[in-house]
Amino acid sequence: MYQHIVVTCGVSLLTGNRNVFSMNRDEIMGEIRPWLSATNIDEEKQRKIDEWIRHAGQFAHEAARDPNRVSAEYSMIYELRRQGKLAERPTVVLIVTETVGGRIVEAILTRLLEEDFQANVRIIYVDVDVNHPRRMQETLGEYMWKVADALSHGEPSTTCFAPIGGYKVMTSLGYIVGAFLHYPTAYMHEDGQVLHEIPPVPIHIDEQFVHDHFDLLRKCQKDMLMRIRFLTAKNNVFFNIRFCSSKRMVLCI
């Protein structure tokens, strides 16, 4: 039974061919659509966002009636409940990008999850800059730290981690974080409606190797691309993980 659900969110709620909200667009969405990935949200964009969210609210009741035509994130929660794996009043953490699309999805999903599943919804915004390679390396490190922090609030046995939405790199790196912290992951595409629960691949860091090659690892730090600070929920030990150009993940103490 899952009490704590962590989900990475994309914009399938707005882009699916048969989804409730993507079908019920108006001229406002025509203006917003080119902005979905925009991060510079000025007053004009925010006004359009708020206006469309109010417009979309009139279709919210259709989600419970046709749950497989809402979004990948909504379908995941619905399927967990259908299989009897969702606890009463669960905590759902939505990890969304700090973009126009992210703000719209966050607002609509929060309303739906609170009304249809009596969920306690928590939002975590992440800044993943896909337009600038150097900045992307930095923002992905921050993203992985936020995923680790969100997972650490629940035990692996009662936590469902579903990195199903957002940029593809968010899904792949999210799985690495979950596996490192021993959390299984769940996956379901909204078209197939089949829930897959994937156990974590064991990731082990050989402390003796770190000790024997300490000088080499110190040199590797100079070639650092990303730094992520992990908190293990089990023993409250902090690890600094560095990803170097050699593409090895090493533990630095």
Is the sign of the CA dihedral 114, 119, 120, 125 positive or negative?
A: negative
Q: Could you give the domains of the chain?
A: 2-202 (3.40.50.10770), 204-253 (no CATH)
Q: Which residues pair with 91 in a beta bridge?
A: 4, 120
Closest CA to 164 of 9, 53, 5, 14: 9
The mean of the pLDDT values for the chain is: 80
| pLDDT at residue 161 greater than cutoff 90 | yes
| Structure confidence at residue 191 (pLDDT) | 61
DSSP string, 166-207: SSHHHHHHHHHHHHHTT--EEE--TTT---EEEPPPP----H
| pLDDT at residue 229 greater than cutoff 50 | no
Task: Judge whether 119 and 91 are in contact, CB under 8 Å.
Answer: yes
How would you class 149 by CB atoms within 10 Å of its CB: exposed for 0-12, middle for 13-18, buried for 19 or more? middle
Helix (H) or strand (E) holding 241: strand 238-244
Task: Judge whether 243 and 226 are in contact, CB under 8 Å.
Answer: yes
| pLDDT at residue 248 greater than cutoff 50 | no
Exposure pattern of 105-126 as b/e (b: 16+ CB <10 Å)? bbbbbbbbbeebbebebebbeb
Spatial neighbors of 184 by CB under 8 A, at least 6 apart, are 156, 160, 161, 178, 197, 198, 199, 200
pLDDT tens digit sequence for 92-125 = 999 999 999 999 999 999 999 999 999 999 999 9
How many Å is the maximal CA-CA distance in the chain?
64
pLDDT tens digit sequence for 7-37 = 999 888 888 667 888 765 666 777 788 888 8
Its pTM stands at 0.78
CA–CA separation, 5 vs 192, rounded Å? 21
- The model's confidence at residue 224, banded by pLDDT at 50, 70 and 90, is very low
